[in-house]
Chain A
Amino acid sequence: MSFSLKPARKSLAPFALIAGIAVVLVAAFAWAAGLLGPQRIDGGDVVRALDDNGGKHPGYRRAHAKGLCFRGSFTANGAGSVLSVAQAFKRGSYPVIGRFSTGGGNPLATDGRNVFHSMAMLIRTPDGQQWRMGMDHTPIFPVADVASFVALQRATTPDPNTGKPDPAVMKPFLADHPEVKAFQAYMAKAVLPDSFAGATYYSINAFRFTDSAGSDRLVRWQFMPEAPLNGLDKAHLDQLPRDYLFDEMIRRTARAPSRWHLQLVVANPGDVTDKATIAWHGPHRTIDAGTLTITKVAAEETGGCRDLNFDPTILPAGIGLSDDPLLAVRSKVYSSSFNRRAAEGAGPSAVGQTLAQEKAR
């Protein structure tokens, strides 16, 4: 009604109400965005921690920056269908694109380091679904949650004077994180594969597989190589050529394809499924679901894997996330890393540089 237009009836109350509503909405928005309230660790925080640790390398993946693309196929034998309705387990052959990499944020780092060898992969099936994976050659991960991951990056940041982590920071960190200490002990003893082709690659996290009856099971998987596992001499790692592992894989693939068997390992009651730091021991129901065959490798510039985000939470129907909180972390952090390098523009890869030099000769 227009009666209120009379000056005598004018009041500040409606203005206050309108301003109040706007302020409440803005405050709620800021809270949702994490600007108000308890501090959250977002993907950018993790990327910054990685940058601080390994140095800034714009245009590259923040972790596992050094890589090589591959192509091939996954041939399912049908056995995996008892665990999941995903088409990738139905008998048939499905194209695969993927990436071998070594741990760390330096895209030109030497291969002579005691770091993760990793295999990332994307399987496409005719039903239009995708299964993306990011796997390491260790069955366990050093940390179980994002706060520990950020703390690990900070603790292991090399001291500019010594080039090694500062013991004054590292010691209390390890005291607080026995799981990292256990992982270091494991890495010190474990064989460091002398070829990408000889390594077993583990899913790191557990995933929820759903069968046609709707039953859920928690599963970890691993790709077991047909090539034998030989170790690098850890005492003389620094004597290896910079691109030793990558060059070896290029030469090997030119001669013959490499193969792995996908083994699905079903959790026993009592297995820890929400912590990637804890291995599953003892006998487990294990299903050989098929064979991965890698027939081609190429530098990232040409191999088609560089501009993909191997987010392990991009899963086909029939495979879902477990209760492991690290999965959400990986998804968000991979996304943040992907967004940043996309905006920065990709640079040449180590393998790409070598191949270009060889061609120029």
Chain B
Amino acid sequence: MTHHPADFHPALRVLHWLMALMVLVMLFIGVAMVSTTGPLYPELLALHRPVGIAILILVVIRLPLRLVTGTPLLPDDLPPLQKLVAKASHVLLYAAMIGMPLIGWAMLSAGGYPIEVTKRISLPPILPHDLAVYALLRQAHTVVALLFFALILAHLSAALMHGLVRRDGVLRTMTVGHGGRIMPATADIPATTADMDAPTTEVRPADATDPT
């Protein structure tokens, strides 16, 4: 499947927003369930595990897809440090998406718990029963969750900065995209305006990255 090289692959965009919702829901379920002894506790716990495993499955599909389909270039006028931070934050986001479900799975294994995804489906343990290891992973599950939430806030704020303040088209690479629009759009804009205002940020050097 081909896509506009200035954008993330459409499948990645769908996965991104689906997973964004799931991850946020997961984080909210997580803190809600540990903070209550109410009747919702078992229900939230029963929801937490299948959603966590679904996230793990989706990220296992998403990461290779991202590596194969490539990443749109960041605007040339973005300072190198910001580019580096952007790249690093993506690495950390992927690490958290993969790490959180795996820590949860490993933690339940080390705690001697059944790893019940649904009433009928259980996963095998991935670590031997060991209380000290459990304690460590249980801590890690909380700490990484809080860092993950902070990372998501930073990621979201940065994306909105691109979309609302810089208006450099970066947000679009993950939303509606530029595909099929940018070229005619450029043609529509009077040549003088386009030349003056948007030479490097909005219009990507499509020919440079187009695999065809």
Contacts and interface: CB of A to CB of B under 8 A. Distances in A.
A342 B129 CA distance: 12
A23 B52 CA distance: 26
A309 B113 contact: yes
B42 A328 contact: yes
A26 B35 contact: no
A35 B119 CA distance: 32
A32 B153 CA distance: 16
B131 interface: yes
B148 to A, nearest CB: 11
A336 to B, nearest CB: 9
Contact of B114 (A314, A339, A342): A314
A345 B165 contact: no
Interface string A9-50: 000001101110110011011001111000011110110000
Contact of A328 (B40, B134, B135): B40
B74 to A, nearest CB: 15
Interface residues of A, number: 51
Given A4-B167, A18-B164, A309 B111 contact: yes
A357 B147 CA distance: 48
Nearest to A4: B167
Interface string A243-278: 000000000000000000000000000000000000
B144 to A, nearest CB: 15
Contacts, number: 124
Contacts of A321: 42
B68 interface: no
Contacts of A329: 37
A328 B38 contact: yes
Interface string B162-203: 001111100000000000000000000000000001100110
Interface residues of B, number: 45
Interface string B126-142: 00011110110011000
B132 A314 contact: no
B156 A339 contact: no
B212 interface: no
A331 B42 contact: yes
Nearest to B154: A22
A319 B35 CA distance: 26
Contacts of A146: 37
B38 A325 contact: yes
Interface in A183-225: none
Contacts of B120: 317
Interface in A306-351: 307-309, 313-314, 317, 321, 325, 327-329, 331-333, 338-339, 341-343, 345-346
B122 A128 contact: yes
Contacts of B37: 40-43, 45-46, 146, 328-329, 332-333
Q: Which of A129, A307, A313, A327 has the most CB of B within 10 A?
A: A307
Contacts of A33: 31-32, 34-35
Q: Which 4 residue pairs across A and B have the least CB separation, nearest first?
A: A34-B35, A14-B164, A33-B31, A342-B135
Given A14-B160, A339-B135, 16 more contacts: A3-B167, A4-B167, A5-B197, A18-B164, A32-B28, A33-B32, A33-B35, A34-B35, A128-B122, A307-B131, A309-B111, A314-B114, A329-B37, A342-B131, A343-B135, A343-B138
